[in-house]
């Protein structure tokens, strides 16, 4: 089994994070550029469900009334704009069109704009740190599609991106695998268990146990259920302090393993040292991989045949 992704990961993204000034107040952010050269390792499909609703830019801000995005699709909640106009029908069409675009692009992950009543997944407002009514209308569809979900704001944090990207690679690789035997599952678990434990030890142990308790001959239902458990676990968001301690652990281990030292590296606990630290860890990962050493913290790498 080759633990390499040869084809680019196909990413959907809320268009206002891809440099398009499509937000209600005519602003947008180019957060993908912050990934520098890494952005080329992905194929991006930007969508704006509100613009696809035909509501234009600028437009009055809107909010969910009487429920969240799931309620909206069940016909129990509405979307109203600040002027009190019910824009539910337009928003519904815009979300369906946007999802259709992402499906035609065959995306495997979606970087969503957190805090939006349309694209938000875990919050639908940015006001006073309230959560609003999550998920948003489009966020609800994205959750059901089982995309790997990343808050686009996390692209600004080198640490969070380090964590997201390693899990995203593992997620997409596993999703693309056509697994037939229990031995293959064991081989996969051998390289996935550390990353799963880093997300949630108890949930990871339950997945390991499920495999150990399975009969010798497993069927397609067991394989897809086991795969779904792993995929569900590795797409869960993590807290920054948890990511930080995981990174330090990997850094210390591989520094000891390879004796890698760099004069340029700065302590990771100062703001200016964050990016350097992540770059240094990246060098260690590449060296480990080149030397045939399994880097437990990043079990799957992207390496096209041309590299
Ligand atoms: S959050 Fe979503 S709907 Fe709102 S501007 Fe961004 S892409 Fe469009």
Atom of ligand 1 nearest to the CA of 118: 3
Nearest CA to ligand 1 atom 8: 48
Q: Cβ distance 300 to 285 under 8 Å?
A: no
State whether the beta carbon of 50 lies less than 6 angstroms from ligand 1. Answer: yes
State whether the beta carbon of 49 lies less than 6 angstroms from ligand 1. Answer: yes
From the CA of 181, how far away is ligand 1's center (Å)?
43
State whether the beta carbon of 118 lies less than 6 angstroms from ligand 1. Answer: yes
Q: Would you write out the chain's pLDDT as a tens digit for each of its 307 residues?
A: 788 899 999 999 999 999 999 999 999 999 999 999 899 999 999 999 999 999 999 999 999 999 999 999 999 999 999 999 999 999 999 999 999 999 999 999 999 999 999 999 988 877 666 777 899 999 999 999 989 999 999 999 988 999 999 999 999 999 999 999 999 999 999 999 999 999 999 999 999 999 999 998 899 999 999 999 999 999 998 888 888 888 888 877 777 776 655 544 555 555 556 667 788 788 778 777 777 777 788 889 888 887 5
pTM of the model: 0.91
Rounded-to-integer distance, Cα 150 and Cα 165, Å = 9
Give the domain ranges of the chain: 4-155, 158-307
Tokens 């930080």, located at residue: 244
State whether the beta carbon of 196 lies less than 6 angstroms from ligand 1. Answer: no
Determine the pLDDT at residue 251. Answer: 79
State whether the beta carbon of 107 lies less than 6 angstroms from ligand 1. Answer: no
From the CA of 123, how far away is ligand 1's center (Å)?
13
Rounded-to-integer distance, Cα 141 and Cα 70, Å = 8
Nearest CA to ligand 1 atom 6: 16
Residues pairing with 301 in the sheet: 4
State whether the beta carbon of 23 lies less than 6 angstroms from ligand 1. Answer: yes
State whether the beta carbon of 247 lies less than 6 angstroms from ligand 1. Answer: no
- How far is C-alpha 92 from the chain's CA centre? 24
State whether the beta carbon of 123 lies less than 6 angstroms from ligand 1. Answer: no
State whether the beta carbon of 114 lies less than 6 angstroms from ligand 1. Answer: no
State whether the beta carbon of 55 lies less than 6 angstroms from ligand 1. Answer: no
Q: How far is CA 27 from CA 17, 43, 273, in A?
A: 10, 23, 30
Determine the pLDDT at residue 140. Answer: 97
From the CA of 119, how far away is ligand 1's center (Å)?
6
Residues pairing with 30 in the sheet: 18
From the CA of 113, how far away is ligand 1's center (Å)?
7
Atom of ligand 1 nearest to the CA of 119: 2
3-state SS of the chain is CCCEECCCEEEEEEHHHECCCCCCCCCCCECHHHHHHHHHHEEEEEECCCHHHCCCCCCCCEEEECCCHHHHHCCCCEEEECCCCECHHHHHHHHHHHHHHHHHCCCCEEEECCCCCCCCCCCCCCHHHCCCCCCCHHHHHHHHCCCEEEEHHHHHCHHHHHHHHHHHHHHHHHHHCCCCCHHHHHHHHHHHHHHHHHHCHHHHHHHHHHHHCCCCCCCHHHHHHHHHHHHHHHCCCCCHHHHHHHHHHHHHHHHHHHCCCCCCCCCCCCCCHHHHHHHHHHHHHHHHHHCCCCCCCCCCEECCCCC
Determine the pLDDT at residue 237. Answer: 87
Name 305's Cβ contacts closer than 8 Å, sequence gap at least 6.
6
């Amino acid at each position: 089994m080759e633990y390499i992704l040869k084809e680019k990961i196909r990413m959907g993204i809320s268009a206002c994070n891809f440099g398009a000034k499509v937000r209600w107040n005519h602003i947008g952010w180019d957060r993908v550029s912050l990934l520098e050269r890494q952005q080329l390792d992905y194929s991006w499909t930007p969508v704006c469900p509100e613009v696809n609703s035909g509501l234009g830019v600028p437009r009055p801000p809107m909010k969910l009334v009487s429920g969240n995005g799931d309620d909206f699709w069940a016909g129990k909640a509405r979307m109203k704009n600040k002027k009190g106009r019910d824009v539910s029908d337009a928003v519904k069409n815009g979300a369906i069109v946007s999802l259709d675009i992402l499906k035609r692009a065959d995306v495997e992950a979606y970087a969503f704009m957190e805090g939006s009543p349309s694209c938000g997944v875990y919050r639908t407002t940015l006001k006073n740190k309230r959560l609003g009514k999550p998920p948003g209308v489009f966020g609800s569809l994205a959750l059901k599609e089982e995309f790997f979900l990343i808050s686009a704001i996390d692209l600004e944090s080198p640490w969070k991106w380090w964590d997201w990207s390693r899990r995203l690679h593992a997620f997409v690789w596993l999703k693309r695998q056509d697994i037939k035997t229990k031995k293959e599952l064991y081989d996969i678990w051998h390289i996935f268990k550390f990353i799963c434990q880093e997300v949630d030890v108890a949930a990871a142990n339950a997945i390991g146990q499920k495999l150990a308790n399975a009969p010798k001959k497993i069927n397609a239902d067991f394989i897809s259920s086991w795969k779904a458990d792993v995929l569900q676990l590795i797409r869960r968001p993590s807290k920054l302090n948890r990511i930080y301690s995981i990174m330090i652990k990997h850094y210390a281990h591989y520094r000891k393993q390879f004796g890698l030292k760099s004069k340029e590296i700065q302590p990771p606990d100062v703001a200016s040292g964050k990016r350097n630290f992540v770059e240094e860890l990246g060098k260690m990962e590449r060296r480990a991989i080149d030397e045939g050493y399994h880097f437990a913290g990043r079990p799957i790498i992207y390496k096209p045949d041309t590299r």
